Chains A and B, each alone.
Chain A
Amino acid sequence: MTAPLLQLRNITKRFGGMVATNDLSLDVHAGEVHALIGPNGAGKTTLICQIMGELRSNSGSMTFDGVNLQPLSPPRRARLGIGRTFQITQLLGEDTVLDNVAMAVQAGLGHSFHFWRDARKNAALLTPARAALEAVGLLPRAAMRVADLAHGERKQLELAVALALKPRLLVLDEPMAGLGPAESEAMTQILAGLKSQVAMLLVEHDMDAVFALADRITVLVYGAAIASGTPQQIRQDPRVLAAYLSEEMV
């Protein structure tokens, strides 16, 4: 058993009197998909924010590849190799699809204090960008403005943008949200194809996708992990069925 890539131990987050994350421990290993499921309000987004550094945990430890995450700023964590897709897509709305991915490629190249060359004509940016778009199947849309894209395409673009940075861990915040059945299927295929390249922490409500992709599942209820194991185990766990799955599976 290799050491986990992402290791959370006893993470707790309080907002005033309310406990949003309750003594949570979680591992994500390289090459695996670890899904996080739970009812709305369970604290999934709060946890993501803590992992990404947007929120500070009250206690607990968080390491990525052995590096302590707690003192690091969000951009720093991203540069360590943690990618993220947002549930409500955060894209550069006025720019084209290609521009968006090129921006990610640019970010990956180090600092951007380059003032002279036209970024939109820079092959060092465009070539990898096109490759990333190819990987998610969006290349035909390269010249379209993000504002004109369909919802499903935007989610794909979110993914392409995150991938362009070549992360080692991808934190996916409900990538299927708002997708119809065909689009969800397509997205699931894309994610399945990525399994070997990048570890994933998948936060999702779509059970089909979760059971199709996940190597392990952790169930979060009121900020605490009530169960954690293989999909097989989770499906049969009575606590989980009682708390959550029964509503979803029926």
Chain B
Amino acid sequence: MSETLTHSRARQMALPWLGMLLLFAVPFIVQGLGIPSLLGLATRIAIAALAAASLNVLLGYGGLVSFGHAAYYGLGAYTVGILNAQFVSGDLLFGIIPGTNQLWFTLPAAMLVSGLVAVCLGALCLRTSGVQFIMITLAFAQMIYFLFISLKAYGGDDGLLMRRPNIAPFINLHNSAHMYYLAVVCLIAYVLFCGRLMRSRFGRVIAGQRQSERRMVALGIQTYPYKLLAFVLAGMGAGLAGALTANYAHFVSPDLMHWTQSGDLLIMVVIGGAGRLWGPLLGAAVLIVLETMLSGWTQYWQIIMGPILVLVALYSPQLHRRLDLSA
């Protein structure tokens, strides 16, 4: 009995490392298979997984259903896009900030911008709970969506093109393998950071308030500041993903912040298993592959996607419990 226990524990511990090894091996696998477009797909999955992982902090660990997470994703992307546009045109943003295309600056800038907005919006949204929280996060995201649509100076509805991705020493983001590795490194770093965070005392408070807010209050813990910090950290993660997507696609548009994008992120978290560390990666992979396949078949693929989602929502907790027991 104890042998099988240690066996499965060993398997549990080895699995993430194997997974990471696999992630790093992807470009070589793709080369071997001779289908270069797969690398682009893998990159999109990695970026989406990062965004979903940031939402997982809120939803999976904290039980906070944020339906407006795509706003931070879009903000990160636009930070890169706008900085780049300023760099190209040579003007100063707001009269003081120079544009830039340096990666080491744009990535943190993206995280900073999304973090700041997250503080402001989170401070308001977290005053509510339950359904109101869902609705208000959605509403604020739409507000930001409309804001960017109205910014004709930066493309508005049509979006903003980035002719070249950002530059950094030793990295050439035109090279799809480099882009992929950048995405994967960010993903792994963020996920490991979150894992660490959720095991800490801070993480325990977050998990605790999800399970019983009343108990936390009775213990003398005021949960608001903790939730707010989690909200900001999640926003920053999404911002990072957005910055990566700007560099990958060379294009940013308000659609990145559309509520359906927020919905997609929620789906990824749920499919992969809310609260599981690597769940978002699984969820992102499943959703993106599914969407790619379905849209290859028909223009009206959403008519199939819709019912699939309903079924997922209906059966996913059961499924995850089954998977738990067998593992």
Contact partners of B202 in chain A: CB under 8 A:
112-115
Interface membership of A95, Cβ < 8 A: yes
Q: Once the chains are docked, how many angstroms separate the CA of A175 from the CA of B178?
A: 62
Contact partners of A99 in chain B: CB under 8 A:
204
Interface membership of B220, Cβ < 8 A: yes
Interface membership of A107, Cβ < 8 A: yes
Contact partners of B197 in chain A: CB under 8 A:
115
Interface membership of B322, Cβ < 8 A: no
Q: Are A90 and B218 in contact (CB under 8 A)?
A: yes
B321, chain A: closest CB distance, angstroms: 12
Contact partners of B200 in chain A: CB under 8 A:
114-119
Selected interface stretch from A61-69, A71-79, A136-144, A231-239:
A71-79
Instruction: Please list 9 pairs of residues, one from A and one from B, whose beta carbons are closer than 8 Å in the complex, sorted by A's number.
Output: A94-B207, A95-B211, A104-B219, A107-B220, A112-B202, A115-B196, A117-B201, A118-B200, A161-B215
Contact partners of A76 in chain B: CB under 8 A:
220, 222
Q: Are A119 and B219 in contact (CB under 8 A)?
A: no
Q: Are A78 and B220 in contact (CB under 8 A)?
A: yes
Contact partners of B205 in chain A: CB under 8 A:
106, 112
Interface membership of A178, Cβ < 8 A: no
Q: How many A-B contacts at CB < 8 Å in the complex?
A: 92
Q: Which of B270-301 contact A (CB under 8 A)?
A: none
Interface membership of B214, Cβ < 8 A: yes
Q: Are B201 and A106 in contact (CB under 8 A)?
A: yes
Q: Once the chains are docked, how many angstroms separate the CA of A76 from the CA of B211?
A: 21
Q: Which of A176-198 contact B (CB under 8 A)?
A: none
Q: 1/0 per residue B213-229: CB within 8 Å of A?
A: 01111111110011001
Q: Are B204 and A119 in contact (CB under 8 A)?
A: yes
Q: Are A92 and B219 in contact (CB under 8 A)?
A: no
Interface membership of A201, Cβ < 8 A: no
B162, chain A: closest CB distance, angstroms: 34
- How many residues of B are counted as interface, with CB atoms below 8 angstroms from the partner's CB atoms? 25
Chain B interface, >50% SS class: helix
Q: Once the chains are docked, how many angstroms separate the CA of A84 from the CA of B219?
A: 8
Q: Once the chains are docked, how many angstroms separate the CA of A90 from the CA of B209?
A: 11
Q: 1/0 per residue A77-116: CB within 8 Å of B?
A: 0110001101000111111000100111011100011111
Interface membership of A221, Cβ < 8 A: no
Q: Are A75 and B215 in contact (CB under 8 A)?
A: no
Contact partners of A106 in chain B: CB under 8 A:
201, 204-205
Interface membership of B164, Cβ < 8 A: no
Q: Once the chains are docked, how many angstroms separate the CA of A148 from the CA of B14?
A: 29
| Extra inter-chain contacts (16) besides given A102-B204, A113-B225, CB under 8 Å | A74-B218, A75-B220, A78-B218, A78-B219, A90-B212, A94-B211, A95-B211, A103-B219, A106-B201, A107-B216, A114-B201, A114-B202, A115-B197, A115-B202, A116-B196, A119-B203
Q: Are B214 and A90 in contact (CB under 8 A)?
A: yes
Q: Once the chains are docked, how many angstroms separate the CA of A99 from the CA of B212?
A: 13
Q: Are A75 and B222 in contact (CB under 8 A)?
A: yes
Q: Once the chains are docked, how many angstroms separate the CA of A202 from the CA of B226?
A: 33
Contact partners of A79 in chain B: CB under 8 A:
220
Closest to B233 in A: A115
